Amino acid sequence: MADVNQGSVLPSETSPPALDGLNATDSNGTDAVNATVAKFVATPEGTALAYGSLVFMALLPIFFGALRSVSCGKSKVAGENGCDYEYRMNMPETITGRDAARFPIIASCTLFGLYLFFKIFSQEYINLLLSMYFFVLGILALSHTMSPFMNRIFPANIPIKQYQLLFTQGSGETKEEIVNYEFDTKDMICLVISTVVGVWYILKKHWIANNLFGLAFALNGVELLHLNNISTGCILLGGLFVYDVFWVFGTNVMVTVAKSFEAPIKLVFPQDLLEKGLGASQFAMLGLGDIVIPGNLKKNTRTYFHTSFLAYIFGLGLTIWVMHTFKHAQPALLYLVPSCIGFPVVVALLKGELTEMFSLTSDLSLQDHSAWRLK
């Protein structure tokens, strides 16, 4: 989860602290975050631009990821809106309350494991392996993100050819498919563009390439992560709330991992952009876990979608305000969790829908209910 850190220098020597965050994600979605701030004095304009841009970028995958999740769910039979065939026919496994309760434990084990790895092995080689891993994942995530837009802008006069990548094991009756991937010309173009971005990131580690991959990861996370109901989301957020606060305030594990880990699992924006342009190097950061996890409570009715959306903005803004006031590291989920749960609960109480809110699914693509549609 994202957190903020004033640094160890005197306040008179530093700029207003940046909203920083790193998020380490394994195959189970585990994440870890922390922050560092260099001895750099940012202008008020540069600081406002960096914070405003981070908030704006955080809202993009939440909004469009939720809409794409609904769109893919509605078109799973018709095959519309650029949804993948595998996604239409095989919906991702839904997270249950039991899974949500285990999630912070898995996250803690993964975080501590990374901490030990960085302590024992060479940081250079570990980051090389992680870079290649996220290079492949980033290309696939960005390609999937671009696919619906490519479907809309692809010229109608260009013929679309179909391709198939098939890898089997054995022969005859014992033949078994290992990989069976079908794609077309539009998918090829998306893959080529994504690969160019990936090479750019590997070679330069440029912040724009990092953000393109980060936004793709976040949007896919909001779109493809499914909760069986709102209660499960609250369990998940509650557990990660404790996880985030403990590892930020209780140990130096997050700080160590965050300083060592290099991967596009955060959104960054330079505070010195106005002075140095695209070559800026002093960044404010926000971890992807602070986008994907709260973002999955937003796929419900229009009223609760808007309420949760405003709650997220309020929680992120409160994180920045507290950071500036107390000049100390602040885990973003410390403020996002109460906001994203509290605001909808208050609205549900006022509407007399508290029981319905907690019992119905948080994901419209998995349930068709007349009272809970994003109309």
Q: Could you list the active site residues?
A: 244, 290
- Residue 229 buriedness (CB in 10 A; 0-12 / 13-18 / 19+): buried
CB neighbourhood size of 196 (10 A)? 12
Rounded-to-integer distance, Cα 320 and Cα 118, Å: 30
| Strand locations in the chain (E) | 3-4, 19-20, 162-169, 176-184, 266-270, 283-287
Phi, psi of 180 (to 5 degrees): -140, 90
C-alpha torsion sign, points 291, 132, 196, 168? negative
Output DSSP code: residue 174: G
* CB contact set of 350 (below 8 Å; sequence gap of 6+): none
The 3-state DSSP class for residue 167 equals: strand
- CA-CA distances (angstroms) from residue 243 to 43, 163, 238, 338, 346? 34, 45, 9, 15, 25
Instruction: Measure the CA–CA gap between 110 and 286, rounded to whole angstroms.
Output: 20
d(CA 247, CA 110): 12
73-91 per-residue burial string, b: 16 or more CB within 10 A, e: under 16: bbebeeeebbbbeebbeeb
Two tokens at 104? 């912070």
